[in-house]
């Protein structure tokens, strides 16, 4: 078994003008499943035809597609584990938004805690074994995090999942969820060149849309959702 995570974001992290920010993505459990899903998603994109609205570089992004086309692409992921982290920005300390570094640290925290929730859920359902010992491969759209911050995020993910973390304020230790994990690989990808990053974009956009309509419960049988704070 190998765990591959593809993720993207939807919304703007700016509490003055936005209520929600969303990370969305998919989990795949083998190289074969990854490759098959990549081909399947490419076919789903091609099946939209020439009328599908594309971005300036020719990419099929959720921000340019019609609701009908986004719905078709979302349904093409029916057999895949989909997840989302929904951040309610009005509930966050305003000081977090005061500096790009503090904003990035919070977004890293939100992503690692949200993905942890997904992994714990999959462990409880028997999809991921508690003794999983391979690497978790995380791939995000290259605009999602600053290039110089990717190492910090990788280390944060590995500490949270393999080593465990300690909260000094509450004097509490959180044990690792996958103590035998070999490590975490993390890389930024150009969504124009990676169909599974585009698939993550569709998931993030769908959850963002439902969050703004206050209809998240309608998605919970299709997407594993973690809400923060």
Mean pLDDT (10-residue bins), the chain, 229 residues: 97 95 98 98 94 86 95 97 98 94 94 97 97 97 68 92 88 94 95 96 98 97 97
Q: What are phi and psi of 168, to 5 degrees?
A: -65, -35
Q: How far lies 5's CA from each of 27, 55, 167, in Å? A: 5, 24, 26
- Tokens 């570094």 correspond to what residue? 101
Domain of 123 in residue numbering reads as 3-228
What is the reported pLDDT for 143? 72
Q: What CATH number has the domain bearing residue 56?
A: 3.30.420.10
Nearest CA to 153 out of 108, 183, 87, 188 is that of 108
CA distances from 224 to 6, 7, 27, 62, 118 (A): 14, 13, 11, 20, 6
Look at residue 70 in the predicted model and tell me its pLDDT. Answer: 97
Cα(25)–Cα(40) distance, integer angstroms: 16
Identify the bridge partners of residue 138 per DSSP, sorted by sequence position.
5, 186
pLDDT score, position 129: 97
Report pLDDT for 168. 78
pLDDT at residue 211 in the model: 98
Residue with tokens 């091609």: 46
Amino acid 67: pLDDT: 95
What's the confidence (pLDDT) of residue 147? 55
Q: In the chain, how many domains are there?
A: 1
What is the chain's percent helix, strand, coil content, to nearest 5? 45, 20, 35
């Amino acid at each position: 078994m190998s765990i591959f995570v593809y993720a993207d974001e939807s919304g703007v992290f700016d509490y003055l003008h936005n209520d929600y920010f969303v990370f969305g993505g998919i989990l795949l459990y083998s190289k074969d499943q990854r490759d098959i899903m990549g081909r399947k998603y490419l076919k789903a994109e091609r099946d939209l035809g020439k009328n599908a609205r594309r971005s300036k570089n020719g990419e099929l992004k959720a921000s340019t597609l019609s609701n009908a086309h986004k719905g078709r692409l979302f349904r093409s992921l029916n057999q895949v584990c989909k997840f989302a982290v929904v951040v309610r920005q009005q509930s966050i300390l305003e000081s977090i938004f005061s500096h790009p570094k503090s904003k990035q640290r919070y977004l890293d925290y939100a992503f690692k805690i949200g993905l942890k929730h997904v992994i714990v859920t999959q462990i409880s359902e028997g999809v991921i074994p508690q003794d999983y010992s391979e690497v978790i491969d995380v791939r995000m759209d290259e605009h999602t995090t600053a290039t110089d911050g990717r190492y910090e995020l990788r280390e944060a993910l590995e500490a949270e999942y393999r080593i465990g973390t300690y909260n000094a304020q509450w004097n509490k230790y959180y044990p690792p969820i996958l103590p035998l994990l070999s490590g975490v690989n993390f890389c930024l990808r150009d969504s124009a060149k990676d169909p599974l990053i585009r698939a993550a974009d569709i998931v993030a956009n769908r959850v963002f849309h439902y969050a703004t309509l206050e209809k998240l419960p309608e998605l919970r049988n299709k997407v594993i959702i973690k809400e923060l704070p």
